[in-house]
Amino acid sequence: QKEVEQNSGPLSVPEGAIASLNCTYSDRGSQSFFWYRQYSGKSPELIMFIYSNGDKEDGRFTAQLNKASQYVSLLIRDSQPSDSATYLCAALRGSTLGRLYFGRGTQLTVWP
C-alpha cells in the first residue's frame, strides 16, 4: 500500500464549476498535508497546507482534512482553464525535519 493515494484522473470540469480532488494516506503518524499544483514540464507549486481537522480556505481553494478517515481533499471553486494542471497531494511524516510523501497526482482539465 502506498503512503499516499490519489485518483490519477483525468478529472474534467467546465469553467466555473467546483473541482474536487481527493487523497488518502496510510500512516496515521502523518502530521501535515500539502497540495501542490504542477503544470506540464514545470516544478510543483505549493497551493496550501493543512494540519488540523476540518476545513481551511484560501481564496478559491479549500482544503479539508479528516484524520479519522485518513482523508484529505482540495476543492477549487469557480474553476478556470488556468487551473488545468496536475494536483499533487503530499503528507509530511516525522519531525519538523520529516520527508514528504507524494501521491502520483490527479490531472485536472477545466474546459471553457
Select 40 or 112, whichever has its Cβ closest to another protein: 40
Select 20 or 107, whichever has its Cβ closest to another protein: 107
Select 17 or 71, whichever has its Cβ closest to another protein: 71
Q: Which residues form the interface with another protein (CB under 8 A)? A: 4, 6, 32, 34, 36, 42-46, 49, 51, 88, 90, 92, 94, 96-105
| Residue whose grid cell is 467546483 | 18
- Strand segments, DSSP code E, in 1-112 are 4-6, 11-14, 19-25, 30-38, 45-50, 54-58, 61-66, 71-76, 85-93, 99-102, 106-111
Centre a 10 Å sphere on the Cβ of residue 44 and count the other Cβ atoms it contains: 19
Q: Provide, rounded to whole angstroms, the least separation between the CB of residue 28 and another protein.
A: 18
Q: Provide, rounded to whole angstroms, the least separation between the CB of residue 69 and another protein.
A: 21
Q: Provide, rounded to whole angstroms, the least separation between the CB of residue 89 and another protein.
A: 8
**Which among 108, 110, 111 is positioned nearest to 40, based on CA atoms?**
108
Q: Provide, rounded to whole angstroms, the least separation between the CB of residue 57 and another protein.
A: 17
Cα separation, 42 vs 59, whole angstroms: 23
